[in-house]
Amino acid sequence: MGGARRRTPEAVNSGWLFMKTIIQSLMAFVTMSAMPMAMAESATLKAGDWLQIELKAPVKDAALFEGSYTISESGLVNVPHLNHGIIALGLSTSQLSRKIEAAYRAADIYKDPKLIVSVLEPTWIAARVVNVEGGVRQPGEVALRENMRLFQAITSRGGFTDSEKVREVKLIRGKKETKYDVRRIKSDGSNNTLLQDGDRIIVPGR
């Protein structure tokens, strides 16, 4: 008569060892995959680091944050809308994200902002530059990043020294000169143009 064949203890033990090996391998893979993210989160920021700051909420202002940001020698990073730098030195990227969010809430700029800060690898930094001149806190060259816009270049040099001058920003590209009013960045980016290598940005007031 037919019937179910009973598995020997050796076969049962062999099957269990095989499953255990598979589970351990999967756990090791997940752990290794998570390590780069964990290391990035625990790494402390230092002067000269290049950052990407993404505004996830409110979405309508996300374009304003496109481009890259650098931590100054004094350990500060300048971000849109705030008229003072944020101390980034010694923080992790997640700590800096929370600190910037808190600054926006305290200034009553955003009620519930959500940001993600990440460190850009040195190999990502472009050799191309734009010049920011005139009424900014730290006039000078800015390394041009992909999708960098007018307002990001200005904030990367410390922002405006005179808020009244934001309506008269000049962009010189070759022989062409264009004026922009950046008191309020438009959602279509029409007054926050993409930059090109060699652009000169001149802010009146200095």
Write a three-state SS string for 154-202: HHHCCCECCHHHHHCEEEEECCEEEEECCCCCCCCCCCCCECCCCCEEE
User: Can you read off the two tokens belonging to residue 17?
Assistant: 């060892």
Q: Specify the fold of 42-124.
A: wza like fold (3.30.1950)
- Tell me the per-residue pLDDT of 4-40, one tens digit each, with 9 for 90 and over: 555 555 555 566 666 666 666 666 554 444 444 444 4
The mean of the pLDDT values for the chain is 81
pTM, rounded to two decimals: 0.56
- Is 119 in contact with 49 (CB distance < 8 Å)? yes
Confidence at residue 15, expressed as pLDDT on a 0 to 100 scale: 60
Confidence at residue 4, expressed as pLDDT on a 0 to 100 scale: 53
Class of domain 126-206: alpha beta
- Is 78 in contact with 69 (CB distance < 8 Å)? yes
Domain with CATH 3.30.1950.10 in the chain: 42-124
Confidence at residue 93, expressed as pLDDT on a 0 to 100 scale: 95
Confidence at residue 32, expressed as pLDDT on a 0 to 100 scale: 46
pLDDT for residue 46 is more than 60: yes
Residue with tokens 């734009």: 130
- Is 89 in contact with 75 (CB distance < 8 Å)? yes
Domain with CATH 3.10.560.10 in the chain: 126-206
